[in-house]
Structure 1
């Protein structure tokens, strides 16, 4: 994959993951995994997520506050980038950390534990990503995102 410097990139219906990577200068950059392609951005994943939230008239901080209000999640909260587009993502570590990777809920097919205590995520398109967190943490994040999504969508139906 090439290092693509895009001035504007928003999480979209093809975004599977925003993976924190380190470039040759030691800076945190983002590997964007989309369903049909992949590329790199010079910004860290949190900035990409914040810019995406702002594109849809909010901010990462606002979305985190919204998740806390709706579902009570305060640590590693899943967020909705765009409810209208069904774009729900979750962090694998604290979103305050620059090296935080974000995963799109819709694209996770399954996941499996590795002997080094990491987890391999298998996406719906068959591609995979190894992340340095336990399978239990990933399972918890997937379930919390589903719960958050259910609560939020139920509120819309009642409105």
Structure 2
């Protein structure tokens, strides 16, 4: 969808945060530049960066990179195509792409904010967020559902691994002090 630049709010710099629901690649007017429309719980704005750049910058803010997070996902669940990522597992920020993450029209959605979804026609899905805002994405309901489920699986396995590591660390520490 093309938008009129004068009617939208723009910000210069942005990282994904616990209030980010979606990052959607869009072009404006006759511009060839791709912007990211950012949907947060209580506001919406644009940033002059492609979604993949926003995601990479956000991952770097939390100590990795988009490629690094994707490699971590591959290691844990074997998924490489449209892999969900943990932008920051300590803040419970898990996101998934709707198409190849490096395409300009990619949308990244936060797993935590998806309330519901339904078909909105051929290769279109209506997504309802927990704040009841809705968007229509250019992705089939089946593909969207697969991405949502894969993210849930990844989230569960990573959380399990993190808590096992914490438990092992505590046992090791307790054993060390018992001696």
Match of 2:89 in 1: 83
Higher helix share: 2
Provide the C-alpha distance between the structure 2 equivalents of 1:152 and 1:71, rounded to a whole number of angstroms: 9
Q: Does 1:66 align with 2:72?
A: yes
- Aligned equivalents of 2:49 and 2:102: distance in 1? 15
Q: Which residue of 2 aligns with 1:17?
A: 22
Task: Give the TM-score taking structure 1 as reference length.
Answer: 0.96
CA shift for structure 1 position 3: 3.8
2:114 pairs with 1:108: yes
Q: RMSD value over aligned CA atoms?
A: 1.0
Taking CA–CA contacts closer than 8 Å with sequence separation of 6 or more, which of the two structures ends up with the larger relative contact order? 1
Distance 1:48 1:152 in 2: 23
CA contact (8 A) 1:3 1:42 kept: no
Specify the structure having the higher radius of gyration (Cα): 2
Runs of 4+ in structure 1 deviating by more than 6 angstroms, as ranges, are none
Q: CA deviation at 1:94?
A: 0.6
1:157 aligned partner: 163
User: Are 2:26 and 2:104, in contact at CA under 8 Å, matched by a contact in 1?
Assistant: no
Report which stretch shifted further, 59-68 or 17-26.
17-26
